[in-house]
């Protein structure tokens, strides 16, 4: 989970006017083609919670559950783009959580992938510093369930998600190693690639950024390069 900027674009303007029209109807919808298009653009085609870019089902999600409140239901700022797995788990149970369109979530929570094999491997989500905000703890709780699941179905989906994270982080580590050992133009190419991998549109960017933060010597050239 990293900060995603909600930009003023043609698609977002179309979405906002479509939401205003839907709000005036008795059974208006918030998943109009305009809204779906704009959310996909804004969130770079990835789930804002798990950062999976190849998730097969992406859905309109309300950060603050609307429970029939039309102001919350049709508010563009309250609409997010989540995969089916995360949307189902979050539902109305995890609120409030951090708003990733307003905050640098990975500055409040450390996303770490520890260990390599089977039982040794763990994904952890820990608060950083002493912020007194219940939304941080709630976000950590949600992230734990998203990555490990509670019900048999959630567990099966979480296993696939962890597999995708493992593959992506492995690739990222290889790039860092290659960068370390390369020279000249190759090094420059790798520098640009690694920088791209740390940006907000990249899958699992929070885990990658923490890998950089936790290895300040090896990753000296990349500290804070996503800002």
Span from 5-13, 23-31, 41-49, 113-121 in contact with Zn ion (CB under 5 A) = 41-49
Sole binder of Zn ion in the list 36, 47, 58, 198 (CB under 5 A): 47
Comparison of 48 and 74: residue with beta carbon closer to Zn ion:
48
Q: Measured from the CB of residue 156, what is the shortest distance to Zn ion in angstroms?
A: 14
Comparison of 190 and 203: residue with beta carbon closer to Zn ion:
203
Comparison of 109 and 190: residue with beta carbon closer to Zn ion:
109
125 is written with which tokens? 């989500």
Span from 69-77, 79-87, 189-197, 210-218 in contact with Zn ion (CB under 5 A) = 79-87
50 lies in the site for Zn ion, by CB under 5 A: yes
Comparison of 49 and 100: residue with beta carbon closer to Zn ion:
49
140 lies in the site for Zn ion, by CB under 5 A: no
- Distance between first and last Cα of the chain: 15
Is there a cis peptide before residue 73, judged by omega within 30 degrees of 0? no
Span from 4-12, 30-38, 49-57, 188-196 in contact with Zn ion (CB under 5 A) = 49-57
Size of the site for Zn ion (CB under 5 A): 5
Span from 30-38, 45-53, 97-105, 116-124 in contact with Zn ion (CB under 5 A) = 45-53
Distances in whole angstroms, Cα of residue 195 to Cα of each of 5, 68, 214, 223? 18, 42, 17, 10
Q: Measured from the CB of residue 44, what is the shortest distance to Zn ion in angstroms?
A: 13
83-112 mask for Zn ion (x: CB under 5 A)?
Answer: x--x--------------------------
Paired strand residues for 124: 112
Tell me which residues touch Zn ion (CB under 5 A): 47, 49-50, 83, 86
């Amino acid at each position: 989970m990293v900060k995603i900027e909600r930009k003023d674009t043609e698609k977002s303007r179309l979405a906002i006017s479509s939401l205003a029209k839907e709000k005036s109807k008795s059974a208006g919808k918030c998943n109009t083609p305009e809204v779906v298009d704009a959310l996909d653009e804004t969130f770079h085609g990835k789930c804002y919670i798990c950062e999976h870019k190849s998730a097969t089902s992406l859905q309109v999600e309300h950060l603050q559950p609307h429970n029939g409140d039309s102001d919350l239901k049709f508010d563009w700022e309250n609409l997010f783009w989540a995969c089916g797995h995360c949307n189902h788990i979050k539902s109305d149970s995890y609120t409030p959580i951090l708003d990733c369109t307003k905050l640098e979530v990975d500055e409040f929570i450390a996303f770490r992938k520890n260990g390599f094999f089977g039982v040794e491997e763990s994904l952890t989500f820990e608060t950083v510093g002493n912020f007194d905000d219940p939304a941080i703890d709630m976000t950590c709780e949600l992230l734990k369930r998203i990555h490990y699941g509670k019900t048999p179905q959630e567990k099966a989906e979480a296993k696939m998600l962890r597999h995708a994270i493992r593959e992506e982080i492995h690739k990222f580590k290889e790039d860092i190693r290659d960068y370390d050992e390369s020279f000249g133009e190759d090094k420059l190419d790798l520098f640009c690639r690694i920088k791209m991998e740390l940006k907000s549109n990249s899958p699992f960017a929070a885990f990658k950024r923490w890998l950089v933060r936790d290895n300040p010597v090896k990753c000296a050239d990349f500290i804070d390069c996503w800002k």
